[in-house]
Structure formats: C-alpha cells, structure tokens
Amino acid sequence: MGMLDVEAKRYLGKRDVFADAFNYLLYGGEKVIEPEKLWEMDTSQIALPYGSNARVPIQKYRDLLKIWEAMTDGRMIYIILGAEIQGKVHYAMPVKNALYDMIGYSNQVEEARRSFKKRKNEPGGDEAALYSEDGVLKIKLTSEEFLSGFRITDKLLPIVSVVIYVGSESWDGPRSLVEMMDLQDTRILPFLNDYKLNLISAADMLEQDFDKFHTDLGIVLKIIKHQNDKADKIIDESNHRKIDPDAAFFLKKAANLDLEFEREEDGVDMCESFEKRYMKEKITGAIETYREYGESDEDIIAKITKRFDITREYVLALLTTKTT
C-alpha cells in the first residue's frame, strides 16, 4: 500500500485510536479498553510459507500488535490484539489472519517450553513437582508435559485479530475459512475447524455506527465510505472542523483527497484545507483559460498574482505542474 500503509500504521497504531477500534469491534463502542493499558509488541513473526515456491520459513510482519492489560473479576489478565490494514480486498484473508494467530499461539507454547529445564537424574515419579536447584525454584514435569512443552495447568493468552479495511467498495471477500472451501459434502461441515474474520469495513458500516467511536476514527471512516461524495459536506455537518494531524494525513491517502496541509500539533483545519483546494482549482482553471487565449507564461503569472493576490512562486509551481 506504500504511503497509505505508512500513514495508516502511524495513525491507527496510536494507543487511543487502536483502543477505539477494538472497543467498537468487541464492545459496541463502550470504553472498556483503556489506551494506557495497551503495550507495544514485536510485530515480526516466523511463518511457514505456502505455494509452489515455498522452500524455507520466512519472517512476516503484522501491521499492528499490542497487548492489553485488563482487570477482570479482580484479577489481571492479558489479551493480545492484532490489526491488519487493507486498502484492497484480500481474498485469502481468513487464511492469512488464521496463520498469524496460530503462529502467535505456537510462539507462546515455545516460550513455555524454553522456560522449563529438564532435571537430570531425578529419581521416580511422573507427577509435576516443585524442586530447588542452586537456590532457584523450578518445576519438574511429567513425561507428557515434557513431551508437550506445556503443563496441564498452563494457559495461552487469547489473541484477537481484526482487519481494518479502508477501501471505498464493500468487502466482497470471504469472511471465514469455510467460505473459501469447495465443500460438496456438507456432512463433514461439523468436523471442519472454521476461522471467523473480524472485519471493520468503512464501506459496509451503518451510518449510526460512526457515532460509536470516541476519537477522530469515526469521522475518518465515514469520509472513507463517502469519499465519492462531498467530504467537506460531511465535515461541515458533523461540526468536526479540526482533526488529529495523523488522522488527516491518513485520510488524505485512504480517501484520495487532493488536499494540502501541514502537520500541526493542535490539529488540521479540514475546512481550511478544502478552501485551499477550491482556490487552487479556481487558479488552475484561470491558467488554462489564459493559455487557451495564447497568453505567455509571464503574462499569466502577472495576471494571476494580481487577480488572486498570491505569490509568483505559487503560480510558477502550478504552471510547471501543468507543463509536466
């Protein structure tokens, strides 16, 4: 996705926006996940590739991955939250996301295995037990636990993955693993392990869903959905004049908005950006009209700067753009 990928990760990776997305997905917009309880995780994963050219394991990277430190029933729990950002429909997405999740669980099992150390020459017994070695408390495993690299009492951290799709067209790809299968005999369906694709698709959201967000993500997704309409009208009607700078740059790429603005700390004035675009369109139209009448570039520069009260450099840049 190029620059869209860069801007998407910068914006959607912000803890408040990331929390907002998962609160919408998991809790219908209720503020359950607190941004300050989210922590970055290493997004690199080792995957076994599939396909005719598959030879050796390769390193894959999730777009965004965080761990959520949550308090439930008076005790601390941890949940891993992952997000994949798609500008276009990926027709094998259930397989891709399932692979990421399974690698995540596999890594947890491997981490548990590495944390155990077989005690050599320990006499008798198959039951797991605590023992001390060099003053360090360690665990003796049963033969089954040693074989598994996982104790019967061990638990995995849950992994929740979501695809955030920012295309303008509806998601027409499969939303589960079973949907990808050529299933002729439905009697085997109960024995197939399915994988559900969690999806946030701007193009498929209902209008009332955009109000369930508590950051600029709601207005961003709404503009993406209606990018073929008047985005400025949406902003004006929502009374959402200024938005987060990272949101503005992401929106510019995702919705293909021809806007010019700077990354400002107090937010980007979107109305002002649209006004600049309209002015640019008027100036460009005037330049084309003067050219049709055979005016020289110098004459055009003189007339445009006087008519619109703008700098010579700005007009020259537009002339150069038109020429190239």
| CA contacts within 13 A on the Cβ side of 76 | 4
Among residues 74, 68, 84, the alpha carbon closest in space to that of 27 is found at 68
Three-state SS at 28: coil
Could you tell me the CA-to-CA distances from 74 to 39, 70, 71, 77, 262 in Å, in that order? 20, 10, 6, 10, 46
pLDDT digits (tens, 9 = 90+) for 225-246: 988 766 667 776 666 667 888 8
* Per-residue pLDDT, 212: 96
* Per-residue pLDDT, 119: 41
* Per-residue pLDDT, 129: 55
* Per-residue pLDDT, 50: 47
Neighbours of 184 (CB within 10 A): 6
pLDDT digits (tens, 9 = 90+) for 70-124: 877 677 889 999 999 999 999 999 999 999 999 999 888 888 887 765 443 444 4
**Tokens representing 45?**
């994963």
Question: Which residues are CB-contacts of 57 (< 8 A; sequence separation ≥ 6)?
Answer: 46, 47, 48, 49
Determine the Cα–Cα distance for residues 236 and 244; give it in Å rounded to an integer: 16
Is the dihedral angle over the CA atoms 297, 303, 305, 308 positive or is it negative? negative
In this prediction, residue 27 has a pLDDT band, given cuts at 50, 70 and 90, of very high
* Per-residue pLDDT, 213: 96
Domain range annotation of the chain: 3-116+135-204, 274-323
Q: Which own/partner contact pairs does 238-241 have at CB distance under 8 Å and 24+ positions apart?
A: 240/216, 240/270, 241/269, 241/270, 241/271
Three-state SS at 213: coil
Q: Which helix (H) or strand (E) holds 11?
A: helix 3-12
Determine the Cα–Cα distance for residues 280 and 146; give it in Å rounded to an integer: 70
